[in-house]
Amino acid sequence: MIARIWHGRTRASDGDAYREYVTASGVRELQQTPGNRGVYLLRKVNAKEAEFLVISLWDSFDAIRAFAGEDLEKARYFDQDRKFLLEFEPNVAHYEVLSAPSPS
């Protein structure tokens, strides 16, 4: 299994709206892509910013390509991301998953 990890930041005041948006757009599309095993959406808020981490789990790099395209390391953004995000990190990270919770 492979974990694909993306990071983004918004203003703290946009944290709830971005959570709703990213859930309805990016997270939903990740979940609907064949070979996706699940998605974690994490958030940390301080006085000025809301930091988001999306960890998606995949069967293979071929499955990730179906979502991300040929350049697996390139971050994929959606239409309304420009409204919320403070910066656009160009790349994501991939990790081999060595241990994970057992499915229930």
- How does DSSP classify residue 101? P
Q: In the predicted model, is pLDDT for residue 104 greater than 80?
A: no
Give tens-digit pLDDT for 67-81.
999 999 999 999 899
pLDDT, position 102: 80
- How does DSSP classify residue 74? B
Other Cβ atoms closer than 10 A to 83: 11
Quick one: CATH architecture of 2-86? 2-Layer Sandwich (3.30)
Please name the helix (run of DSSP H) or strand (run of DSSP E) that holds residue 5, with its range, or none: strand 2-11
Q: Is the pTM of this model over 0.95?
A: no
Q: What's the rounded mean pLDDT across residues 8-35?
A: 96
pLDDT, position 98: 95
Which residue ranges make up each domain of the chain?
2-86
Q: In the predicted model, is pLDDT for residue 103 greater than 90?
A: no
